[in-house]
Amino acid sequence: MARSSPRSLPHFVRSPGRWGDWEGPLSSSTQNAELAGLRRFFRWARAEGLRPDDPTEGIRPPRREPYARARGLSAEEVARLLAAIPVESAAGLRLRALVLAYLLTGRRRSEVLNLRWRDLDLEGGFYRYSGKGGKERQRALPPPVRLAILVYAEAAGLAQKPEEAVFPGRWRDQPVDGKYIGEQLRQAAELAGIPLERPLHTLRHSYARALRRVEAPLEAVQAALDHSNLATTSIYLRQLEGQEDPWWPKLAAELGLIGGGEAASSPTEEQS
């Protein structure tokens, strides 16, 4: 604390390697959260007379870039990922059921992992979950997800008691750890030749991207993702799909890169 300075703190906030085995760059939201915590700490230290100054003063928070690293899987990548998951064990069947649940519902990590058997209506074909802010919601349970859950439950010998977790870890009443599942998913993705930076959240991104591929309107994607406003969904999809540029055809024509100009600029075969 005594050696902290306005020059050293920004480097500390940006530096990776302080979050378990994560070695990539920290997101702007993570950096902002850490900087806010450091500000509270050093203001307290100065008020208590432990430091004469506050080294966080004058440090500008990094600019937030929502969903800057958002990535969704293509249909071909999804097929490769599912093929790479071993289904000879209950653990493999659990991972496959989880992957299908994320891909076909678009739910956040905790919204799936925290499911209890009382949250599933297997006969009626729907499930209940707690979204952001603790809001209770109910949605249709896709048949492939229902089947995958039942196959896993049978292989794992789950009693399907109402209070028990649908995807338990060591104890039946506690859900499996999300980091553990994320690592399993990352290993399966490596076998499939797919780089995954945020394994479980990438599946939510893939759900959103797939909705757009099947021509779901923006409002439908917003409702499916439980976004509070349309602007959030628009930013989300723009990062996944890229910003549209309606002007490039006219610009290319102006520069002679379409039609005759394009043909004239193409290489010709060398004469032997």
**189 inside domain:** yes
Is residue 35 domain-shared with residue 61, that is, in the same domain?
Answer: yes
What CATH number should be reported for the domain holding residue 150? 1.10.443.10
Is residue 47 domain-shared with residue 82, that is, in the same domain?
Answer: no
Is residue 32 domain-shared with residue 129, that is, in the same domain?
Answer: no
Is residue 182 domain-shared with residue 81, that is, in the same domain?
Answer: yes
Q: pLDDT band at 232, cuts 50/70/90?
A: confident
Please give the residue that has the higher pLDDT: either 36 or 166. 166
Is residue 131 domain-shared with residue 167, that is, in the same domain?
Answer: yes
Active-site annotation, residues: 108, 132, 201, 204, 227, 236
**CA distances, 224 to each of 78, 207, 219, 233 (Å):** 20, 9, 9, 10
Tokens 């058997």 locate to: 117
Range of the domain at 117: 75-200
Q: pLDDT band at 261, cuts 50/70/90?
A: very low
Is residue 105 domain-shared with residue 163, that is, in the same domain?
Answer: yes
CA distance 222 to 226: 6
Is residue 83 domain-shared with residue 187, that is, in the same domain?
Answer: yes
pLDDT tops 60 at residue 24: no
Query: Which candidate, 45, 33, 32, 63, places its Cα nearest to that of 4?
Result: 45
Is residue 32 domain-shared with residue 146, that is, in the same domain?
Answer: no
Is residue 26 domain-shared with residue 121, that is, in the same domain?
Answer: no
Is residue 23 domain-shared with residue 138, that is, in the same domain?
Answer: no
* 1-10, 61-70, 130-139, 169-178: least confident range: 61-70
**136 inside domain:** yes
**55 inside domain:** yes
Q: Domain ends where: 171, 200, 229?
A: 200
Is residue 7 domain-shared with residue 104, that is, in the same domain?
Answer: no
Q: pLDDT band at 63, cuts 50/70/90?
A: low
pTM here is: 0.66
In total, how many domains does the chain have? 2
Quote the pLDDT of residue 263.
39
Is residue 108 domain-shared with residue 27, that is, in the same domain?
Answer: no
**214 inside domain:** no
